[in-house]
């Protein structure tokens, strides 16, 4: 199974203002997971022209009746893998793990898996989050953490005004592989 991961699109109006490379990069995915800060529901409709979409709300997102847009967290089960989604992971600042690309994720003291089970209401093997606009892939405590960055307002590693990043998760025989796509 191939899953597109996107966050922090901050789209206005119809939601069709995403950079052209976004839909091109998502071609062939089976599902798209959006980690919030869409700003308009039209983003979900636009992404659904490629594949089904599930999302969590960010700080600036409207409410929507139905299952497509969850309140603050959600767990998606795909090919036997539990994927927790949240917009802002909101963790205290003790202990740091750094990814090979230089982005850092701050982990709380104690058992991260217990904290995740409490946050998501069940154990998860993958955590997808957004908010920072900084792309990240790392493993910690046996869990894969992925922040796809932002395709429209990328983090500090990108030139202002340039398209940013999104992510792809591939699941095969319960093994999960993550990669980032630079939309330049």
pLDDT tens-digit map of 149-174: 999 988 877 777 778 999 999 999 99
Sequence-separated (6 or more) residues with CB below 8 Å from residue 162: 154, 184
Q: Flag whether pLDDT at 1 surpasses 90.
A: yes
63 CB-contact burial (10 Å; exposed 0-12 / middle 13-18 / buried 19+): exposed
Q: For the chain, what is the total number of helices (H) and then of strands (E)?
A: 3, 13
Q: Which of 121, 119, 169, 111 is nearest to 145 (CA)?
A: 169
What's residue 160's pLDDT?
72
Q: How many domains does one find in the chain?
A: 1
Q: Which of 5, 62, 67 is nearest to 38 (CA)?
A: 62
pTM over 0.75: yes
Range of the domain at 72: 2-182
- CATH classification at residue 20: 3.60.21.10
Q: Flag whether pLDDT at 103 surpasses 80.
A: no
């Amino acid at each position: 199974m191939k899953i597109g991961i996107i966050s922090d699109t901050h789209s206005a109006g119809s939601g069709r203002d995403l950079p052209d490379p976004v839909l091109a990069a998502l071609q062939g995915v089976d599902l798209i997971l959006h980690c919030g800060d869409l700003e308009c529901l039209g983003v979900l409709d636009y992404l659904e022209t490629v594949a089904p979409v599930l999302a969590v709300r960010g700080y600036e997102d409207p409410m929507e009746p139905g299952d497509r847009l969850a309140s603050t967290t959600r767990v998606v089960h795909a090919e036997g893998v539990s994927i927790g989604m949240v917009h802002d992971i909101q963790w205290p600042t003790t202990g740091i793990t750094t990814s090979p690309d230089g982005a850092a994720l701050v982990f709380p003291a104690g058992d991260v898996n217990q904290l995740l089970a409490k946050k998501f209401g069940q154990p998860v093997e993958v955590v997808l989050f957004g908010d920072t606009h900084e792309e990240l892939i790392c493993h910690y405590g046996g869990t894969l953490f992925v922040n796809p960055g932002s395709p429209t307002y990328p983090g500090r590693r990108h030139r202002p005004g340039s398209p940013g990043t999104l992510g792809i998760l591939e699941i095969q025989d319960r093994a999960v592989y993550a990669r980032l796509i630079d939309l330049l």
